[in-house]
Structure 1
């Protein structure tokens, strides 16, 4: 069982109306500015508390971030104490190092040398696999995304990580409530791993009952520049790139590149803004030539990630109808 979702968190803390709004949101519905602002405030609380049931229960009872921190520390200690159960004869100090690395490097392409310069890649790979089997971490593997299923076209050696829960991730990373509460919305979306972890763990929830539930991303490494799309998932028979980014559509060069190279027609962006729908007309470079790229961008506030499957289904239906 994974962490509680954001809507479950809202229900647990007595925000039933806002939870109901998320759970019943339909493509094209408007969002009142006052509800939007309140949801972003509560989202910030969720980023700190996370979805571990014990942490949510303490927050629901006390509204104390300090007491939530005590619960996080207790949960983290329990995980560390459990290492011997599945680590066998493996080096526990190294396992702890890998555990901490995973929490502090969510969304970053894994290079074994960055985990430890002293240990062999094969050893560290085994440590990561054990943590993945224990469902403490999960891999997001690069796929070339040339067709479905996405997992048929992966490069297993190229991957980034998600941690079990955004609250635990922040606790291990040493991010306290005072710092988190002062970050503006733009920084919360664009900087660090918090929004990527949040979106990732909710996408895992969406895909939990599907045959291909592993998450993927797209990475193209070039001599001059790299292009990367945060997640690529299969929903409603479509290959959907998912970006987490605040700001103008012109700042999404990687997404433009993906859409042009893979010929997709619909992309998703999560940010701190109200829901919106854009027709993107831009150009990309392919070798020495430029190519025109046209696609539809569905822009959604981060808190609506749980409804992505239903929103995409409605969006595609309306496109067919028109």
Structure 2
């Protein structure tokens, strides 16, 4: 079964753009960047040519000796059986972060050879870019590839149910048979997450042991990246932070605490390690906002933040949470259930909104899980893992700031109560669409 990836539509739009720039596809390791680009080349171009800068270091020499696109194309053509033709060939530079001259050469493809369709990708491209090396600022376009969202997972395995949700035109309860099926699929998604290889094992009925093994393989690959690509001084710090994430999220107050990383740990010693994990696309750092005003970034409390993983399935596996607990429940799982739901909701919100969500707290009174900047609106968000809706956080926020819209995610049905919308967790990927219903009516 072929996985549905919505980014294909963005790639098609890039191809159609007469003023397109070379495209850089960013994303964490194992999110499927190479597969996406090869699929795009196969379906949209006559020829596809790929060069991997990690596997073949001889290619580096070409870019180290010239920046002239015509000479680069001429020399690359000697290394492939397929022609490299304007408009007919997709030219893929994979793991381009391994060759800074190649990254810099994208500028000259834009300025002197824009007729060629050039795309680049790299698992640790964000890390390379954060080092501040020579980079063609303004001469390239970016796309971010995330793990499969629940929406993509749903379209892959149940086209009819996906289409039903896509065709919703109002905020109204869904039929019971629809909510039952979506709840079941949502639980499956919490277990497997959105890494393509993991989902493929699941869809091929290879069993949970294979799913678990593949998740462990990915986690091990991430750990190897720490030791291979990070600065020596940061390797143990990155590892300590990474391993502390489950305990950070297990607290009722999920604010990141350095003492949980290592006794006596200080913020200034671990900042570079946090930035490495962020740049690699492995974590999201959600800052506390001192005031939920526009623009959100201007009111960050840089000393207070939460850390979530980029994939909820990997969080479950990194935490050592047995998959059956997700399906069957357990009294001892109550606390971490909220963390899993929050990670899932954040994972859903990130691709929908340009600004990473923040969170808000009224010291000693309330804490709102996320705050979204949506156009000119600031929207507070509360996440409940089940159907119980206790808590006063949104009420405290409402009394202080009177937002035009408030969101609560839970396993309750889709419903509007004044300015409060209850969005079922399995509809989190449709948040932007649902919020628009409120503004339209």
TM-score interval w.r.t. the shorter chain? 0.7 to 0.9
Please name the residue that 2:437 is paired with: 314
Please name the residue that 2:328 is paired with: 182
Please name the residue that 2:167 is paired with: 24
Q: TM-score under structure 2 normalisation?
A: 0.62
- C-alpha distance in 1 between matches for 2:415 and 2:291: 26
- Rg comparison, structure with higher value: 2
Q: Which of 400, 415, 426 lines up with 1:303 in the alignment?
A: 426
Against the structure 1 CA distance between its residues 175 and 146, is the aligned structure 2 distance closer, same or farther, given a 3 Å change threshold? Answer: closer
Give 3-state SS (helix, strand or coil) of 2:232's partner: coil
- Determine if contact 1:102/1:137 at 8 Å carries over to the other structure: no
* Structure with the higher strand share, 1 or 2: 1
- C-alpha distance in 1 between matches for 2:335 and 2:318: 20
Please name the residue that 1:102 is paired with: 245
Please name the residue that 2:296 is paired with: 150
- Determine if contact 2:383/2:410 at 8 Å carries over to the other structure: yes
Unaligned runs of 5+ in 2: 1-144
- Determine if contact 2:407/2:423 at 8 Å carries over to the other structure: yes
Does structure 1 residue 92 correspond to structure 2 residue 235? yes
- C-alpha distance in 2 between matches for 1:232 and 1:129: 22
Q: Which of 400, 411, 414 lines up with 1:275 in the alignment?
A: 414
Please name the residue that 2:359 is paired with: 217
Against the structure 1 CA distance between its residues 74 and 19, is the aligned structure 2 distance closer, same or farther, given a 3 Å change threshold? Answer: same
Against the structure 1 CA distance between its residues 244 and 303, is the aligned structure 2 distance closer, same or farther, given a 3 Å change threshold? Answer: same
Give 3-state SS (helix, strand or coil) of 2:338's partner: coil
- Determine if contact 1:135/1:164 at 8 Å carries over to the other structure: yes
Question: Number of aligned pairs?
Answer: 292
Give 3-state SS (helix, strand or coil) of 1:105's partner: helix
Please name the residue that 2:352 is paired with: 206
Give the stretch that moved more between structures: 129-138 or 89-98.
Answer: 89-98
- Determine if contact 2:359/2:368 at 8 Å carries over to the other structure: yes
Q: What is the RMSD of the two structures over their aligned residues, measured on CA atoms?
A: 2.1
- Determine if contact 1:229/1:242 at 8 Å carries over to the other structure: yes
- Determine if contact 1:145/1:239 at 8 Å carries over to the other structure: no
- C-alpha distance in 1 between matches for 2:170 and 2:334: 25
**After superposition, what is the alpha-carbon deviation per residue over 1:69-107, rounded to whole angstroms, capped at 9, x for unaligned?**
011000000000011233221253432221121244347
Q: CA deviation at 1:166?
A: 0.2
- Determine if contact 1:277/1:297 at 8 Å carries over to the other structure: yes
- C-alpha distance in 2 between matches for 1:53 and 1:104: 27
- C-alpha distance in 1 between matches for 2:171 and 2:402: 25
- Determine if contact 1:272/1:302 at 8 Å carries over to the other structure: yes
**After superposition, what is the alpha-carbon deviation per residue over 1:8-63, rounded to whole angstroms, capped at 9, x for unaligned?**
11233x21112222333333244110110111011000000000111111111115
- Determine if contact 1:189/1:271 at 8 Å carries over to the other structure: no
Against the structure 1 CA distance between its residues 92 and 203, is the aligned structure 2 distance closer, same or farther, given a 3 Å change threshold? Answer: same
Q: CA deviation at 1:195?
A: 0.6
Against the structure 1 CA distance between its residues 28 and 190, is the aligned structure 2 distance closer, same or farther, given a 3 Å change threshold? Answer: farther
Q: Which has the higher contact order (CA 8 A, sep 6+)?
A: 1
Unaligned runs of 5+ in 1: 280-295
**After superposition, what is the alpha-carbon deviation per residue over 1:217-275, rounded to whole angstroms, capped at 9, x for unaligned?**
10122xxx3410000002242110011125565x2311111111112232110110111
- Determine if contact 2:248/2:254 at 8 Å carries over to the other structure: yes
- Determine if contact 1:217/1:229 at 8 Å carries over to the other structure: yes
Q: CA deviation at 1:130?
A: 1.1
Q: CA deviation at 1:146?
A: 4.0
